[in-house]
Amino acid sequence: MLVLIADDDPVSRRALEATLTGWGYDVEVVNDGVHALAALLREGAPPRLAVLDWMMPGLDGPEVCRTVRAQSQGPYAWLLLLTARKNGSDLIAGLEAGADDYIKKPFDPGELKARLRVGERILALQAQLLEAHKALSVLATRDELTGLLNRRAVVERLDQELERAARDAGTLSVLLIDVDHFKRLNDDRGHQAGDEVLREVAVRLDHVAGPSAVLGRYGGDELVAILPGCDSAAAVALAEEMREAVSKAIPTEAGPLSMTVSIGCGTHSPGQAASVLIANADMALYRAKAAGRNRVEAAP
C-alpha cells in the first residue's frame, strides 16, 4: 500500500521513509502541505494512507485534513497527524479537522506501525462495505433471472431518457417484446425450460440492441427495450433483427426449442408521458399477436 509522508523536517522525513520502506510500504514523500494536498486529491491512484506533520509550509496538517475531507471525491484516505503538541485541545482540534489519528514526535516505531495497521484495517473494511453496497445495488435494480433491469429500474431509466429527449429535441422509441406461447412452453416443458428460454432471449436481445439501448424485464415473459436516438423506422428495423435472432433454436435441458417473439413499437412525441408511450407500444404488441405472432408492429 502507498503511504504519503508529508514533513518539512529532513531528519524526521528520512527516518519515516526508511522505517516505512523497511516494513514493505511503497512511500511517496513531500515536504509541504500544498504538495501533500495535491497528492491526496489527484486522480488515478492517490495514496490511501498518509502521515502528515502538523507544522508545514503552505498548509499545515489540519488544513490538509480539512480540505481533503471537503473536496475528495475518491476513495477514503486514512490521515495520521504527526505532532509535538501535547495539549489535549490541540489534538482534539486536529481530529475535528478530519484526521483519523495522531502520533507524537519523535515517533515510536512500534506505535507508528500499530496505528498504520489500524488504518489498513479501516480501509479494508471500507472496501468490503463498498463491494456489499455495489452488490445490493445490483440486487435492487436487476432481474434475478435474466440479469436485465427490473421493472422499477427500467421505468426510472425511461423517465430519464424522456427528459433527455425533451431537453435535446431528440428521438426515443420503446419496444415491448413478448415471448410467443410462453405459457404453453411452461406447461409442456416445465418452468426450468421456460427460465432457460427467457435467459437466452435476454442475451440475444442484448447482443442485437447494442450499448446505447436499455433492456429490462417488464413482467413475466414480457421484456422492454428503450432506444434513445431511434425514430420509428430505426426502431422497427432493430426490432426485426431482434425477432430474427430469437427465432433460431434455443438449447435447453429439455432439448432445442424453436421460439418466436412478438414486438410492439412506440415512438415518443413531444410532451408525451411515459405511460402513454408504453401504452402505445402495448397496443402495437397486441396487434402483432392478433395478426399471428412472430411479427413487429409499430404504433401509428
Which sequence positions are flagged as catalytic?
A: 221
Q: Are the C-beta atoms of residues 185 and 255 closer than 8 Å to each other? A: no
Q: Compute and round to an integer the Cα radius of gyration of the chain.
A: 29
> What's the start-to-end Cα distance of the chain, in Å?
61
Rounded to whole angstroms, the Cα distance separating 2 from 17 reads 12
Which SS3 state, helix, strand or coil, does residue 145 take? coil
Rounded to whole angstroms, the Cα distance separating 172 from 161 reads 8
The DSSP output letter for 133 is H
Helix axis angle, 232-247 to 191-209, nearest 10°: 140
Q: Are the C-beta atoms of residues 229 and 172 closer than 8 Å to each other? A: yes
- Could you tell me the three cell numbers for 153? 429500474
* Partners of residue 51 on adjacent β-strands: 5, 80
Q: Which residue, 45, 41, 103, 44, is CA-closest to 67?
A: 41
